[in-house]
Chain A
């Protein structure tokens, strides 16, 4: 017992001391964790980026057979006004013939089957396919030869999945909101 601190009194006092000490440390710990949360959140998308998370597109000028490209969250979006032929080509295909089976009806909105909205990024390695080309009259990816049909589904080539359909809705007959 030759240094300057001694253990005092009963263990009851010691327990009280420990409780106070541990409570204080625990509260301090909670405070420290809470203090980190704003730093963590600052790395999430900022308000200006979030404001562009949805876009509204005017499709009134698109005639049947025409396609419009817009940027959404940094990605190209293909908005295609399909002709009746193109729709028939898409619906006539049997699911069994598809590499990534998905009926055309699942890829468009009911009552608006002439509108096909897809993310214009090849599901193989990310190039942007070219519209109106390829054996299936849909899109052709020049990088490695993937071919998509008039529903944007993969038919031939190395891509594993159909062109992704982003979340979108019709605000009215001439405007769609993507995202």
Chain B
């Protein structure tokens, strides 16, 4: 009964045996198109034949929400790009032109700015789900890795996007972060000059950041397709961590998850709308409404909130190269997660001791974020170091050792049984 819980190959086999009943589409037009380009049948298979665990909770909505957020960013970004000018003399004013003169320009600009934050809210919630329910474990390693790549690309895109308005934070954030690369031994300085296209962050930098910022989201869309393909191969995880074994455990995506996803989208838009219409600048920094000035450094250079935890890790290390390595390391670490967590139980819901360390991890991550926007002085410094230590220790020490000490709760026999219990 529990064997397929621990054998990834068995799990894959069981999954591929499950076939849902569905009505064949009888349309001749559809059949004709499919015989030449099987796009319609592919969509229909995914929506109606592909099995999904019926006990998925709302934590499983965040993937599709992140997808919608990506589309919102692409749409709003496209229309902003029709009016924005990527030249240091004109960039700031072109954004104000959008805000004041372009019809609904203020709306599109705020959608894009607030949307970036909302995108990261969805991403972090999505990753949290993965961390808690063991979605990174075999056979979903590649799915997890592709996800981390999406996360990294999104961060790079957001970083470059923030430079474009050419405010004080745009300029100085770009200066601080690109300067990090000089920590690389031997080739560091060369790389930084090459990145800048000059001897400091200036027009060449702005121009290329605009081009790359425009391009990357489409690359991300492609990688998201890979992400969905990997998901298709293994099937979704679920709150019990117990894999799907038979038709009784599964339902079709349509109509159940189409409508549930719509509920999630509207809830997302409600949160989005609250910030967008009433507090659009609350997630940003006032200094970015001051045009970039290379002669005046702001009192506190702070990145956007979604970068703060990693910024805190960077500053926690007194050595420049060390800080860079620890900051990137914090994300690279995630790649090893499938090999660090070897508990026989996949889902955190059945691991009481794991739960405690996990909640602490989340609180610690938020605390790290708060430290990231605090000045790097006084007790904040030792706090950042301890916090960074726990972040690393959670992955490198806690997770590998937990199986030795934890008493896990008994797993449900099946997803079907779990669902019947819940309803």
Residues of chain A within 8 A (CB-CB) of B83 are: 42, 46
| Binary contact readout A42-62 vs B (1 if CB under 8 angstroms, 0 otherwise) | 111011110000000000000
- Verify A21–B105 contact, CB threshold 8 A: no
Query: Size range of the interface on A?
Result: 10 to 19
Q: At the interface, yes or no: A4 with Cβ under 8 Å from chain B?
A: yes
- Verify B102–A4 contact, CB threshold 8 A: no
- Verify B251–A5 contact, CB threshold 8 A: yes
Interface size of B by CB at 8 A reads 29
Chain A nearest Cβ from B277, distance in angstroms:
13
Residues of chain B within 8 A (CB-CB) of A47 are: 100-103
- Verify B103–A4 contact, CB threshold 8 A: no
Q: At the interface, yes or no: B107 with Cβ under 8 Å from chain A?
A: yes
| Binary contact readout B58-101 vs A (1 if CB under 8 angstroms, 0 otherwise) | 00000000000000000110010011000000000000010011
Q: At the interface, yes or no: B11 with Cβ under 8 Å from chain A?
A: no
| Binary contact readout A7-21 vs B (1 if CB under 8 angstroms, 0 otherwise) | 000000000000001
- Verify A42–B108 contact, CB threshold 8 A: yes
A40 to B63, CA, bound (A): 28
A3 to B79, CA, bound (A): 45
B104's contact among A3, A5, A28, A38, by CB below 8 Å, is which? A38
| 11 extra A-B contacts, CB within 8 A, seeds A3-B20, A4-B249 | A3-B247, A3-B248, A4-B54, A4-B416, A38-B103, A39-B79, A42-B82, A43-B82, A47-B101, A47-B103, A48-B97
Find the A residue at minimum CB distance from B415. A4
Residues of chain B within 8 A (CB-CB) of A48 are: 97, 101
Q: Can you list 7 residue pairs at the A/B interface with Cβ under 8 Å?
A: A5-B252, A21-B255, A24-B259, A42-B79, A42-B82, A43-B79, A43-B82
Q: At the interface, yes or no: B174 with Cβ under 8 Å from chain A?
A: no
A109 to B160, CA, bound (A): 57
Find the A residue at minimum CB distance from B20. A3
A39's contact among B20, B54, B100, B104, by CB below 8 Å, is which? B104
Contact A42 B249, CB 8 Å, known A28-B262, A47-B100 = no
Chain B nearest Cβ from A16, distance in angstroms:
15
Contact A46 B102, CB 8 Å, known A5-B256, A38-B107 = yes
Q: At the interface, yes or no: B250 with Cβ under 8 Å from chain A?
A: yes
Find the A residue at minimum CB distance from B247. A3
Q: At the interface, yes or no: A172 with Cβ under 8 Å from chain B?
A: no
Q: At the interface, yes or no: B21 with Cβ under 8 Å from chain A?
A: yes
